[in-house]
Amino acid sequence: MTAGRAPDAGLAYACDDRSMVEYGNGVGEVAGRSGGGGQTMDVGASLSQLVTDSAHTISTMPPAALLLGVVVIIVGLMVLKRVF
C-alpha cells in the first residue's frame, strides 16, 4: 500500500477528485439563487413585452422587408379564404 492511499480505493484513486457540483443546477444555487433561473413572469408583463418587442422589430425593418411582409400576409389570407 502506498502513502495516502485508502485501503478500499478503486483502481482510479489517484484520478478521483472531490465531488463537484454539476453545471446545470449548481450555477442557480450559488449565493441563494443568484442565477435567477426558474422565476415566473406574470401574463400581463409577458404580453406587454410581446407587443413592445414586435413594435420595435417592425419599426427597425427596412421598407423592402415591410413590403414583402405585407404581400406575404395578403397572399396567406387569400389562400386561407380559398381553403375555407
What does the pLDDT look like over 60-83, one tens digit per residue?
A: 999 999 999 999 999 999 999 998
Q: Indicate if the alpha-carbon torsion angle 63, 53, 77, 75 is positive or negative.
A: positive
Per-domain boundaries in the chain = 23-83
Tens of pLDDT, residue by residue over 40-59, are 667 888 888 999 999 999 99
Rounded CA-CA distance 5/9 in Å is 7
At 1, the pLDDT band (50, 70, 90 cuts) reads very low
The one-character DSSP state at 16 is -
Q: Is the pTM of this model over 0.75?
A: no
